[in-house]
A and B are shown apart, each in its own frame.
Chain A
Amino acid sequence: MSSERHRRRVVVTGLGAVTPLGIGAVPLHDRWTEGVVGISDGAGFCRDFEAVDHLSVKEARRLDRFSQFALVAAGEAIGQAWGEEAPYDPFRLGCVIATGIGGQATVETNIRIMDTRGSKAVSPLGIPGYMPNAAAAAVTMKHGLRGQSYGVVSACASGAHAVGAALRMIQYGDADAVVCGGAEAALTDFGFASFHAMQALSPTGVSRPFDLRRDGFVMGEGAGVLVLEDAESAAVRGATILAEVAGYASTTDAHHITAPEPSGAPAARAVELAIRDAGAQPDDVDYINAHGTSTQLNDAAETRAIKAALGDAAMSVPVSSTKSSIGHLLGAAGAVEAIATVRTLQTGVIAPTLGLDEPDPELDLDFVPGEARALGTNGHPPLALSNSFAFGGHNVVLALRGAPGKP
C-alpha cells in the first residue's frame, strides 16, 4: 500500500430512489425487508411513477424516462441533504449520473418517426433526450450545480462507478459535495428482445440469486441518487450524516464482453482493494450487498470472488442481493444498491435474498435466505460492501461505513 497521504473523508447526507418498490429511498429498503417483490410480468417496472406528478410539463416532455427518474431521485436526495438553498459555492458542487444505455425509448420513437415520416420530422428533442449525459445535465440545471458534471457508462457497474467518481472528486478537493447515482429505463420491446437474444434473461421471469434453479436476470428500471459531501464541511454545517463512503475500487476482467472471468479473480481484487481503501481488514466486513444477478455465471463467479477476497472471513459474512426484489436496474443498479446498503447500515436490518429457497451446494456463503435479520456489529460502526460487476468486465466495489453512533 502506498504511504498514507491526507485524503478528505466523504459522507453520505442525502438519498433518493425511484424503484419498482415505489418512490423513495426508505420504501426501497423497508419493502425489500418485508419481502415485497416489485417484479411483475417478467420485469421490474416503476408502475407508480407518473412524470407529471413530480415534474413540470416542460421538464417531463424534454426528458427521457431515465432522466425523469434521475431528476426525481435527485430531488429527494438534495431535499434530505440541504433542501432549497445549497450550503456551498455552486462551482464546488459536482454531479455524476450514470446510465447503462441512455434514452432508449427516445431513440426508438425517433427512428420510427424517421422511417414513417422522413428525416425532416425527427424531433429536435431527440439528442437532448437520449444522450447518456442527459440525466446529469438535467440535475445540474434544476439544482444549479456548476462544478464538474458528466455521465458515466459501464453497463451494470455504471451507478457504482458514479459513486466512486464522486468520492474521488471530493477526496481530491475538486468539489465539496457531489450529487451522484445512476438511472435506467430500457424496458422497451427492443430492450427486452436485445437482452433476451443474449439468453441473459430469466425465461421464467423469476429472479433467484444464488439459488440452484436460477436461470437468468430480470430487467428493472429506476434511479438512485446520493448526495456525498466532504465530511468536515458536512459536520461544520451540522448536516445529518447517514453513512461514510469509506472505500472504493474498480478492476476489469479483460476476459469476455459478457461472461465474467470464471475464477472471479479480477472481481476479488476489486473487493480486496475496496476493503484496503477503507483502511479495513476482511474480517471487519459486516455485510455484503451482492451483485447477485440470478445468472448461473455471475452468482458462481461472485461467490468465488468473495471467498478469494475475504478468505476465512467469507463464510461468516451475511451476503444478500436486492435484485430479486426489484430486478436488475442495469446502469442504476450500483447506485440503488449502494442506497439499500446505506439504509442497511442506518436501520441495522439486513434484508434477505428473496427467492432463494433451494441453495446451490456450490454456492455456500451465508446468502440470508428467508427473513431479514439484524446487522451484527462488534462495537464499531459497521462496514458493508456493495458489489457491481458488469457486461464488459467492469468490476466495482464500494465500501460503506455506518455513521458513528448508529447500530
Chain B
Amino acid sequence: MSVTTEQVESRVVETLASFGPDASQITRSATFEELDIDSLDLVELAQVVEEDYGVVLKGEDMKELKTVGDAIDMIVERAG
C-alpha cells in the first residue's frame, strides 16, 4: 500500500489539531514548540501513525523531529 505525502499531511494536521492548536497554525514549517505540542502529544501522534500506516516511531526518532514537515517526511519515507 503506497501512501501519498498529501494523505499523510492531512492525517497529521488533523491529529495535531485535535490536540489543541488551531488547524490554520499547523503548517509544514511550524515547530512543535510553537504549537505547544509536547512529548506526550508526539507519543499519541505515533500511535495514530502506527495504526494507520504501520510506521513505528520510537522515542529517539521523535527527538529528531522539530517541525510538522519533519514528521510528515519521516512517516512518508518509512511508509514507502
Contact = CB atoms under 8 A, between A and B. Distances in A.
Interface of A: 56-58, 61-62, 120-121, 123-125, 128
B31 to A, nearest CB: 16
Given A124-B40, A125-B40, A128-B40, A58 B20 contact: yes
Contact of B19 (A61, A120, A121, A128): A61
B42 to A, nearest CB: 9
Interface in B32-80: 36, 40, 43-44, 47, 50-51
A125 B47 contact: no
Contacts of A58: 19-20, 36
A51 to B, nearest CB: 13
Interface residues of B, number: 10
Contacts of B50: 120
A61 B19 CA distance: 7
B20 A121 contact: no
Nearest to B20: A58
B40 A61 contact: no
A56 B20 contact: yes
The DSSP consensus for interface residues of chain A is helix
Contacts of B19: 57-58, 61
A58 B36 CA distance: 9
20 contacts: A56-B20, A57-B19, A57-B20, A58-B19, A58-B20, A58-B36, A61-B18, A61-B19, A62-B40, A120-B47, A121-B47, A121-B51, A123-B47, A124-B40, A124-B43, A124-B44, A124-B47, A125-B40, A125-B44, A128-B40
Contacts of B43: 124
A120 B36 CA distance: 24
Contacts of B47: 120-121, 123-124
Nearest to A58: B20
A405 to B, nearest CB: 46
Interface string B2-43: 000000000000000011100000000000000010001001
